[in-house]
């Protein structure tokens, strides 16, 4: 039996759209409900407990909207809350992500890899354990880059000011001799052209989003949750911030001109929709 319920995706803002675009490419028959918690952006500088609460409250919202699977499309949220969320919501499959140290460590020729992420991810046990598991004998140059989140959130402008910020972050990584750069924050794939311009063609940039999309596909199949690709799939976006901002960014980053964007607001620990167009489908 095809399952037409939507996949629920969440991020602090537009970052998870880098994962969403890969999920849509791979699974065009699936409906998606995407929550951008822009009312709380950025997550990166926040304490773990606070991020956990936002993530669990958002998942509860997505489950109220009948989502069949959750994708935590935010490295910071995963670092703070993936295991916690799986314990709290054992009945729904939750697909997470971690910095892609493994492929970087396998591919490096120089033995030096760079990883850029938020402060919360940098300080997390998850990051320490990924390095421990996959980067034995490899030098890992890790860097928290909070300003890059804000650049992506402004639509990844290619201005001299933006280039200067990116150059400042990339300088020490270049000097260390990296030949792989792991994007450990879902906002960063939108800055790939600017990052590549700073690093030069010899550095490979690793975006984990296609691998996350493949994992979503596998889990849907294993759990018999796939939809039939019958042309009825829809994608809806909800933000706890400004819907016009998200609409503009969807146009700029994904080329979506008529995106279905709704507003939500936080009422204590509950995320509630401002309109009555729910649930999806």
Q: Using the minimum distance from each CB to ligand DGL, give the nearer residue, 4 or 16.
A: 16
What is the sign, positive or negative, of the torsion defined by CA atoms of 248, 188, 43, 68? positive
Residue 74 falls in the annotated catalytic set: yes
Considering CB under 6 A, how many residues would be counted as binding ligand DGL?
Answer: 16
Q: Closest by alpha carbon to 124, among 149, 150, 99?
A: 99
Among the listed ranges 68-76, 108-116, 192-200, 262-270, the one in contact with ligand DGL (CB under 6 A) is 68-76
Please give the residues from 104 up to 143 whose contact with ligand DGL meets the rule CB under 6 A.
118, 121
Q: Is 56 a catalytic residue?
A: no
**With contact defined as beta carbons under 8 Å apart, do 228 and 29 qualify?**
yes
**Given 6, 8, 44, 241, the residue binding ligand DGL (CB under 6 A):** 44
Residue 12 lies near ligand DGL (rule: CB under 6 A):
yes
Q: Among residues 12 and 108, whose Cβ is nearest to ligand DGL?
A: 12
Which is closer to ligand DGL, CB of 41 or CB of 212? Answer: 41
CA distance 208 to 272: 31
Active-site residue identified among 56, 67, 74, 145: 74
Positions of E strands within 55-153? 69-72, 94-95, 112-117, 139-144
**4, 15, 93, 243: which one binds ligand DGL (CB under 6 A):** 15
Which region among 40-48, 61-69, 85-93, 250-258 touches ligand DGL (by CB under 6 A)?
40-48
Residues 28 and 56 sit within 8 Å (Cβ to Cβ)? no
- Least separation in angstroms between residue 211's CB and ligand DGL is 14
Minimum CB separation of residue 102 from ligand DGL in Å reads 17
Binding track, positions 178-197, relative to ligand DGL; x by CB under 6 A: -------xxx----------
Q: With CB under 6 A as the contact rule, which of the stretches 74-82, 106-114, 217-225, 254-262 interacts with ligand DGL?
A: 74-82
Phi-psi region of 261 (alpha: psi -120 to 50; beta: other; left: phi over 0): beta
Question: How is residue 188 annotated by DSSP?
Answer: G
Report d(CA 35, CA 78) in Å as an integer.
15
Q: Does 58 bind ligand DGL (CB under 6 A)?
A: no
158-197 as b/e, with b when 16 or more CB fall inside 10 Å?
eeeebeebbeebbeebbeeebbbbbbbbbbbbbbeebbee
Q: Which one-letter DSSP state was computed for residue 191? A: G
Residues serving a catalytic function are 74, 185
Q: Which residues bind ligand DGL (CB under 6 A)?
A: 11-12, 15, 41-44, 74-76, 118, 121, 149, 185-187
């Amino acid at each position: 039996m095809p399952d037409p319920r939507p996949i629920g995706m969440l991020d602090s803002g537009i970052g998870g759209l880098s994962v969403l675009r890969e999920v849509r490419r791979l699974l065009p028959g699936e409906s998606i409900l995407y929550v951008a918690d822009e009312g709380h952006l950025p997550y990166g500088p926040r304490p773990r407990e606070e991020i956990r609460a936002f993530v669990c409250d958002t998942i509860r919202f997505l489950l109220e909207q009948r989502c069949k699977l959750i994708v935590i499309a935010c490295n910071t949220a995963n670092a703070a809350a993936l295991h916690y969320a799986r314990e709290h919501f054992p009945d729904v499959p939750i697909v997470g992500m971690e910095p892609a140290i493994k492929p970087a460590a396998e591919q490096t020729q120089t033995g030096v890899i760079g990883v850029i992420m938020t402060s919360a991810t940098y300080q997390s046990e998850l990051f320490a354990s990924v390095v421990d598991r996959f980067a034995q004998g490899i030098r890992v140059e890790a860097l928290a880059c909070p300003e890059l989140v804000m650049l992506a959130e402004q639509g990844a402008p290619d201005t001299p000011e933006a280039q200067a910020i990116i150059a400042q972050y990339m300088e020490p990584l270049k000097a260390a001799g990296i030949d792989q750069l792991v994007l450990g924050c879902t906002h960063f794939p939108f800055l790939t052209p600017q990052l590549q311009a700073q690093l030069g063609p010899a550095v490979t940039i690793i975006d984990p989003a296609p691998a996350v999309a493949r994992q979503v596909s596998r889990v849907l199949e294993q759990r018999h949750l796939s939809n039939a690709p019958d042309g009825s799939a829809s994608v809806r976006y909800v933000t706890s911030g400004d819907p016009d901002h998200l609409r503009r960014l969807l146009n700029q980053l994904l080329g979506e001109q008529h995106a279905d964007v709704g507003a939500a607001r936080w009422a204590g620990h509950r995320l509630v929709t401002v309109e009555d167009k729910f649930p999806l489908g």
